[in-house]
Amino acid sequence: MKALLCDHAGPPGELTLAQLPDPVPGPGEVVVAVAAAALNFFDTLIIQGRYQTKPAFPFSPCAECAGTIAALGDGVTGWAVGERVAAWLGYGAAREKVVVPAEALVRVPGRLDDAQAAGLFVTYGTAMHALIQRAKLKAGETLAILGASGGAGLAAVEIGALLGAHVIACASSSEKLALAREHGAQEEIDYAQADLRARLKSLTEGRGVDVLYDTVGGDLAEPALRSMAWEGRYLVVGFAGGDIPKIPLNLLLLKGCDLRGVFWGDFVRREPAAHRRNMERLLDWAAAGRIRAHVHARIPVESWTEAYALIAERKAQGKVVLTF
């Protein structure tokens, strides 16, 4: 089988496409024939040894995938060969076949194709956890999202709108903002053109935003924090802009607001029951057609460098997916 492999820390061009023997499922495991494996921003970091998770070499990138069950290990019940499934592995999904514990599988609703299903876990899982468990977002609250057309940002636009928030999309171009609007945002701010703080203030009539979902960090963080409402919750989700901001703590005092960290991967490990409830709710929405799961590009695994470039060059909107 084909496998995209990282055998040393380096840029995407130094990954290789190798042939490996097909895997065999152990007890309680299944083999999934992967149709699509989704890339996330952290895939650009993990192959360079610049991410918090540092897998042993050689490993395959891609944290999540979708496809069909190809084989069942001993003791697996409730699943059949040929069923459409998706799974989150953490890393290692960029292979034609992967071994997955049966308990980690979810069934893919008929409305979603493989590329859409492959990208459901990290971005929507993060948005669900951030907005439900961390922000405790309430209907009618204002929710501003930095990086609103990226994978994690666009998922938050959709989930925020489904939870009844007034969603303000913030991104770096009118094209990216148009996509966020199609996915449920009611207001928009182009932070490449406009002053973020002034616009957030005017859109909230001076009150400030209740929940701020930040996937970008860098220079946007401080003006965003200065735009919080009393008892607002600022969600630290990611640093796609590259720089980890240093925050003057007096702002939290003056605003009476909270800074809340979001770490979806650890949430899954520490609170599996809450994670399962989030995923069930998400899959119900997906089955009812209430989740759009926008895929920016479906790229054959042989052209993986093109897929990585879309993310690294800030061109991706929604998900970038490798196909097999």
Q: Closer to ligand NAP at the Cβ: 102 or 152?
A: 152
The nearest distance, CB 298 to ligand NAP, in angstroms, is: 15
The nearest distance, CB 75 to ligand NAP, in angstroms, is: 32
Cβ-count burial 287-307 (b if 16+ within 10 Å, e if not): eeeebbbbbbbbbebeebeeb
Helix (H) or strand (E) run with residue 25 in it: none
The nearest distance, CB 7 to ligand NAP, in angstroms, is: 23
Contact region for ligand NAP (CB under 6 A) — 9-17, 107-115, 224-232, 263-271?
Answer: 263-271
> How far apart are alpha carbons 310 and 74 in whole angstroms?
41
239 scored as a contact of ligand NAP (CB under 6 A): yes
User: Which tokens belong to 223?
Assistant: 């003006």
171 scored as a contact of ligand NAP (CB under 6 A): yes
> How far apart are alpha carbons 53 and 46 in whole angstroms?
7
The nearest distance, CB 96 to ligand NAP, in angstroms, is: 24
Q: What is the DSSP secondary structure assignment for residue 164, as one 8-state letter?
A: T
The nearest distance, CB 181 to ligand NAP, in angstroms, is: 13
> How far apart are alpha carbons 283 and 280 in whole angstroms?
5
What is the per-residue binding string for ligand NAP in 9-28, x denoting contact by CB under 6 A? --------------------
Q: Closer to ligand NAP at the Cβ: 15 or 268?
A: 268
* 3-state DSSP assignment of residue 10: coil
Among 60, 116, 142, 172, binds ligand NAP (CB under 6 A): 172
Positive/negative CA dihedral, 43, 143, 118, 52? positive
> How far apart are alpha carbons 47 and 57 in whole angstroms?
10
**What is the total count of residues that contact ligand NAP (CB under 6 A)?**
30
Among 237, 257, 282, 286, binds ligand NAP (CB under 6 A): 237
The nearest distance, CB 321 to ligand NAP, in angstroms, is: 12
94 scored as a contact of ligand NAP (CB under 6 A): no
Among 34, 37, 40, 228, binds ligand NAP (CB under 6 A): 40
315 scored as a contact of ligand NAP (CB under 6 A): no
Cα 289–290–291 angle (5° rounding)?
Answer: 95
E strands, 191-318, where? 209-214, 228-236, 258-261, 295-300
The nearest distance, CB 247 to ligand NAP, in angstroms, is: 16
The nearest distance, CB 173 to ligand NAP, in angstroms, is: 7
Residue in 173, 37, 163 with CA at minimum distance from that of residue 98: 37
Contact region for ligand NAP (CB under 6 A) — 61-69, 170-178, 198-206, 287-295?
Answer: 170-178
Q: How far is CA 126 from CA 26, 78, 139, 238, 267, in A?
A: 30, 28, 19, 11, 9
* 3-state DSSP assignment of residue 94: coil
Q: Closer to ligand NAP at the Cβ: 64 or 114?
A: 64
Q: Closer to ligand NAP at the Cβ: 126 or 323?
A: 126
Residues 140-169 that bind ligand NAP (CB under 6 A): 147, 149-153
The position carrying tokens 């960090």 is 217
Q: Which residue ranges make up the site for ligand NAP (CB under 6 A)?
A: 40-42, 122-123, 126, 147, 149-153, 171-172, 176, 215-216, 237-242, 262-265, 311, 314, 316
